[in-house]
A and B are shown apart, each in its own frame.
Chain A
Amino acid sequence: MSSQSIPQQAPAPPLPRLGEITETVTNTIFGKAPLWWLIAFGISSALAGAFVLVLGAVALFGTGLWGINVPIVWGMGITNLVFWIGIGHAGTFISAFLLLMRQSWRNAFSRYAEAMTLFALATAGMFPLFHVGRPEWIFYFAPYPNTMILNPQWLSPLVWDAIAISTYGGISAIFWFLDLIPDIAAMRDKAKRPIPRAFYGFLALGWRSDSNHWERLHKTAYILAALATPLVISVHSVVGLDFAIGNLPGWHHSIFPPYFVAGAIFSGLAMTVIVGIVLRSGYEGLKDFITMDHIDKALKLMLITGLLVTYGYMAETFGGWYKADAFELPLIIERAIGPYAPFYLAMLFFNCILIQLLWFKPVRKNIALILVICVGILIGMWLERFVIVSVSLSYTYLAPTWEVFNFTFWDILTIFGPFGFFFAQFLVFIRFLPSLPISETQQHAVEVAHA
């Protein structure tokens, strides 16, 4: 178990020893906070503060602060909810789906991608809370016991949504923490000062690296992965059903569930790649673990899901044309050439055209281009959600009420604030917890050496 190699495309760098893997990862935490971290955390916190300001204002003065009114009654709240849940999807896809598929190259990504899932869900969770008119009663979504037998209304997709998302959040959190335990124990063992040792010691839950412990952890991880994998498909399918069940032009399509899942993994992978590149350039030592090979594989997955999304756009447009509905046709035409044309065309450009560059190997090796494409995808996927939610609502069954979305100051803050909220959580995570799965990376190194 010494001097084994990490999988690399030739030419391979010197082989890190297993202990060095631990060192490299723990050094990112016990070392002093680098300057880029402080700057990034400052910016994120400021944006997160803006987000909290929006939520506070909305709670205080009512959802009317957002530029929503008849007929566009779902705006930033739902658009961002769908966007952020989508961002979370890649995490579970990488950590659970690929674990079941025995794709051990995923290891470098799995930890921080799973953390992204959690933080994206936490961010997404804010939106329904403040989207509703009376957040103080939101627990009516839950089937809590009461003598009036007031249950939620099971026909409503929003109830399915609440159940799907909370299940997803729970499983993701357990899965993520379980995977962390051995690494937290490693942190505990490496910690020199008493407070970190107590902190990590508490979180390590008495992990002794006993073979029985490993045996059980191993089994539980597979069971949880098997539970989490269908959730990757189900959660965004249910989010898609929210719209597909709504009897509205632009929403009423059976393609929505699969198309939403593909879009979610697509945008999530884009965020994973961006964060991976930032981590690589931030911590020199991590370059040997999050390699260009990993990024290459993620980009190929991104291309596949992007093509699925493109198919979704085509199917949706074709379906609308084919059913020749008197209200669906104007919607299809209006969103392409009407006041929303910049949104719709930009969405098509970022999600369908720009990603075609990923067919070419030199592009998949060019960090700057990758960043441009990934940021483009994030913009494109946000626009997609906006187009589905608010643009469809602009052209409802009653032509006299047609309106164009009116962006207020609060809407703009609601778009950018959540990024700060998300990244602030993420930066805290990489500062205090191992952002790479130490033990799994070691295991992978051993496997590769034996192969």
Chain B
Amino acid sequence: MIMKPEKPLDNPANDELVTDIDRRAALKLMTAAGIATAVAATLTVPFNNEQAVKASAPQDAARGDSPHNWIMIIDLQKCIGCQYCIFACQAVNDVADDMQWNVYLPEVTATGETFHMTRPCLHCRSAPCTDVCPTSATYQRADGLVIMDYDRCIGCRYCQVACPYDVRRFNWTNRRNEERVNTLQPEWGSPEIERRARGVIEKCSFCVQRIDRAYQTGQTPGEDRGVTPACVNICPVGARKFGDLNDETSEVARIVANTPTFRLREELGTEPNVYYVPAEGMIAT
């Protein structure tokens, strides 16, 4: 509560004068600032937004509309639990041993039969991780891939808590020290993508670099090995299949249409793009 006299004291001498000058100066300043803003806005029009974005987009097919919807099918009846998918992923994407993008879990059905569960990123159509990212560092492309922009990621890990499938991995420390080595890095050749910096999130990308190459060369992921995710290529029993759900002639589209499949925790409404063919003894949901 501030003192308020009954009547304002009358002393126009100093006060009114000061106010007048202030108001004029303020108006002048505001006008000048307005003009400066208008000029700056006009001058930057040629460099503006949409052109810059178009120029920087790696593949036009990845933005805007895309005829594709890349999905993966994991056949739990075929999987023998060799974990080669995980190893290939580590070799190709240079993933540290304790941050595997693909995980393997031995599981049992309700009737007690064992089966082998592997889990890449599910690339959900309605991905909870992309909705919460404060910087759009993770986003979904029109072709269904949920990918990371490592330059834009600040490492708040909100996506990591939002993901109900524990897909995301955080670079807690630098990859220099002993415990963050990738023992599956082959002695020859080099990984296809760069090592991620400390403090960013990384995750399975469906080998996005290969999908992008397919757009450039006109090959078909899932059929041409060079543009198919590493885990799918290496699977010795063909348990993992990759392809375009929108292409009705593709093998994955036929499987999804004709075989009972399920997706993980569908009741959450995340619409995963990874379909599982149930193991024997499991009931498809």
Contact = CB atoms under 8 A, between A and B. Distances in A.
A99 B1 contact: yes
A442 B48 contact: no
B197 A134 contact: yes
Contacts of B173: 61-62, 64
Interface string A398-419: 1011000000000000000000
A159 interface: yes
B97 to A, nearest CB: 14
Contacts of A104: 1
Contact of A147 (B49, B137, B164): B49
Contacts of B134: 140-141, 152-153, 156, 158-159, 162
Interface string A177-213: 0000010000000000000000000000000001110
A73 B52 contact: no
Contacts of B4: 214-215, 218
B142 interface: no
Contact of B133 (A69, A153, A211, A218): A153
A133 B155 contact: yes
A322 interface: no
Contacts of A182: 2
A64 B175 CA distance: 12
A153 B135 contact: yes
Interface residues of B, number: 52
B107 to A, nearest CB: 9
Contacts of A63: 155, 172, 199
Interface residues of A, number: 63
B49 A149 contact: yes
A62 B268 CA distance: 33
Contacts of A443: 1-3
A210 B11 contact: yes
B49 to A, nearest CB: 4
Interface in A125-151: 128, 131-135, 137-138, 140-141, 147-151
B164 A62 contact: no
B28 interface: no
Given A62-B173, A152-B136, A107 B1 contact: yes
Nearest to A140: B135
Nearest to A442: B3
A10 interface: no
A267 B154 CA distance: 31
B198 A62 contact: yes
A337 interface: no
Interface in A52-107: 61-64, 68-71, 73-74, 99, 102, 104, 107
Interface stretch (A26-34, A244-252, A372-380): A244-252
Given A62-B199, A158-B134, A158-B156, A221 B164 contact: no
B30 interface: no
Contact of B152 (A140, A149, A212, A221): A140
Nearest to B136: A153
B235 to A, nearest CB: 22
Nearest to A392: B161
Given A133-B155, A134-B154, A393-B161, A147 B11 contact: no
B165 to A, nearest CB: 7
Contacts of B215: none
Given A63-B172, A133-B155, A140-B134, A214 B199 contact: no
B2 A147 contact: no
A254 interface: no
Contacts of A64: 172-173
A223 to B, nearest CB: 13
A147 B199 contact: no
A442 B4 CA distance: 12
B166 A401 contact: yes
Interface string B151-173: 01111111011101110011111
A20 interface: no
Contacts of B199: 62-63, 132-134
B44 interface: yes
Nearest to B171: A133
Nearest to A64: B172
B265 interface: yes
Nearest to A215: B8
A350 to B, nearest CB: 26
B266 interface: no
A115 to B, nearest CB: 18
B131 interface: yes
Interface in B82-130: 105, 128
Given A62-B172, A149-B53, A398-B165, A131 B2 contact: no
A71 B163 CA distance: 10
Given A133-B154, A133-B157, A246-B161, A148 B53 contact: yes
A159 B131 CA distance: 11
B156 A131 contact: yes
B174 interface: yes
Interface string B64-95: 00000000000000000000000000000000
A396 B161 CA distance: 9
Contacts of B52: 147-149
7 pairs of A and B residues whose beta carbons are closest in the complex: A133-B155, A133-B199, A64-B172, A134-B199, A158-B134, A211-B9, A156-B134
Interface of B: 1-5, 8-9, 11, 15, 44, 47-50, 52-53, 56, 105, 128, 131-137, 152-158, 160-162, 164-166, 169-174, 197-201, 265, 268
13 contacts: A133-B156, A134-B197, A135-B154, A149-B49, A149-B53, A153-B136, A155-B131, A210-B11, A212-B11, A217-B2, A397-B265, A398-B165, A447-B1
Given A140-B137, A246-B161, A397-B165, 11 more contacts: A64-B172, A68-B172, A70-B160, A73-B170, A134-B155, A134-B198, A134-B200, A149-B49, A156-B131, A214-B3, A246-B158
